[in-house]
Amino acid sequence: MSSTADLDQADTDQLYKYWRLQVFLGIYAGYAVFYITRKSFTYVTPALIQDLGLDKVDIGLIGTLFYFTYGASKFISGILSDNSNPRYFMAIGLFMTGVLNVLFGLSSSLTAFATIWTLNAFFQGWGWPPCSKVLNSWYSRTERGFWWGIWNTTHNIGGALAPVLLGWLVMTVGWQFGMGAAGLLAMAMTFFLISRVRDKPQTMGLPTVGRWRNDEKEIAHEQEGLGLSNKEILVRYVLNNRMLWLLALTYILIYIVRTAISDWGNLYLTEVHGYSLLTANSALSASEIGGFLGCLVAGWGSDWWFKGNRGPMNFIFSVGVGLTVLGLWMVPVADYSVQLGLFFMSGFFIYGPQMLIGMAAVECSHKNAAGASNGFVSLFAYVGAALSGYPIAKIMETYGWNGFFSTLSVCAMLVILLFIPFLLFKGRFK
């Protein structure tokens, strides 16, 4: 590989454009399949209840074990991935999630389900930190919202396709085949990921992205904390970073709302409004399509309208989250188009802060701590996701769906209040 000094500007530009596209395609397709193998359990949940006699508390217990493990894994793997090659780190995680999805489809007991799905959670945590590291290395501050927003739609692509495809497999050939198909897809996608992803521009003999784009904010970020050891970076820029702690608290609440709607939404529609599983899952697909557009608007808007300041856009979207949760609760109409619209809007607004909080965490930390910073706030995010499992199931068991939506409404209102201080700290989000 040629050194930077051997490349003229035209060669540098050409190589940068080529590798940025290849790397982006690799992490986009790879993480979409990560998401399919993560949510496959959700999409077969009604079939497990019907075929095997599991109840909501059983499902909630599995979900809680998964999310606690996943959150811890994201933090641990975030630290490890900062000192690893994301190309192979992410690929190993994806392959193992595929294997575990296949094994889940071959199992039939609650103990086996809980064990396999907890192991799946551990390897699921190997997906996001490498992606945040790659995005932080190949895209600079003044454009990152745009590209991070596009990349974040990978959740929605996976989330929109999987409910319908897996729902069809469940209805035609059984839930076992749905889980197996998701697993085989993940194992096959591993090879595509390895062929496309590369660590960082410097590995390819290119200058840093800040110098290539002459981005002053990015160059300043690249120069921040030079010469510090990995331990010093972790303590100063992650564990003792007050901005990360506040972001982590908002992440807990937004993930309670996001995961509860995603994991329990199809059951709500089948029980309360009498939808078939396939029809209920299509509403979840509408939520993911809404999230696709919400990611784009949130990312682009924070770049173009607020010049890289993520705070105002987070606040705007959090207000939308509160309104749509109230809509799902208070609108009694069972008409499919009405429910479809409500789920669409919930996805649109929830995925805005879900994306921007993670990006803000990376940007207010050290350049070489992208994985650890994102993993740190994600640890708390999945505490919130875990709370949407067993605890929410117990609330529903005692108070029904009114208890479910009143809990989500309180969480949404708290998110709005917690984002107000960020409007006063504009410089810390730039």
Contacts of residue 211, defined as CB under 8 A and 6 or more positions apart, other chains included, come to 219, 222
- Answer yes or no: are the C-beta atoms of 278 and 260 closer than 8 Å: no
Radius of gyration of the chain (CA): 21
The secondary structure of 319-354 as a DSSP string is: HHHHHHHHHHHH-----HHHHHHHHHHHHHHHHHHH
CA dihedral 122, 128, 131, 132 (to 10 degrees): -130
What confidence tens digit (pLDDT) does each residue in 282-291 have?
A: 888 888 889 8
> DSSP assignment, residue 424?
G
Which pLDDT band holds residue 331 (cuts at 50, 70, 90)?
confident
Dihedral angle sign, alpha carbons of residues 251, 288, 35, 176: positive
Of 57-71, 232-246, 414-428, the range with the lowest mean pLDDT is 414-428
pLDDT value at 427 more than 70: no
By the 10 Å C-beta count (0-12 exposed, 13-18 middle, 19+ buried), 335 is classed as exposed
> DSSP assignment, residue 203?
G
| One-letter identity of residue 307 | K
| One-letter identity of residue 215 | D
Domains of the chain: 4-429 (1.20.1250.20)
Check: pTM over 0.85? Answer yes or no.
no
Cα–Cα dist 283/233, whole Å: 44
What pLDDT score was predicted for residue 426?
53
Residue with tokens 């609440």: 253
pLDDT value at 243 more than 60: yes
What pLDDT score was predicted for residue 425?
61
Q: Which among 92-101, 270-279, 372-381 has the top mean pLDDT?
A: 92-101
What percent of the chain is modeled with pLDDT above 90? 32
- Long-range contacts made by residues 53-61, C-beta under 8 angstroms, separation at least 24? 54/110, 56/267, 56/393, 56/396, 56/397, 57/390, 57/393, 57/394, 57/397, 58/110, 59/389, 59/393, 60/389, 60/390, 60/391, 60/392, 60/393, 60/394, 61/114, 61/389, 61/390, 61/393
Contacts of residue 56, defined as CB under 8 A and 6 or more positions apart, other chains included, come to 49, 267, 393, 396, 397
Please give the structure tokens belonging to residue 287: 């939520």
Tell me how long the chain is: 430
C-beta neighbour count of 378 within 10 angstroms: 30
Of the candidates 127, 134, 75, 77, the residue with the CA atom closest to the CA atom of residue 97:
127
What pLDDT score was predicted for residue 279?
83
CA dihedral 82, 83, 85, 89 (to 10 degrees): -70
C-beta neighbour count of 401 within 10 angstroms: 16
What pLDDT score was predicted for residue 411?
94
Region 168-190 average pLDDT: 87
Check residues 425 and 250 and name the one with the higher pLDDT.
Answer: 250
> DSSP assignment, residue 202?
G
pLDDT value at 85 more than 60: yes
What pLDDT score was predicted for residue 2?
44
Region 41-49 average pLDDT: 81
What confidence tens digit (pLDDT) does each residue in 136-176 have?
A: 899 987 888 889 888 888 877 776 777 777 777 777 778 88
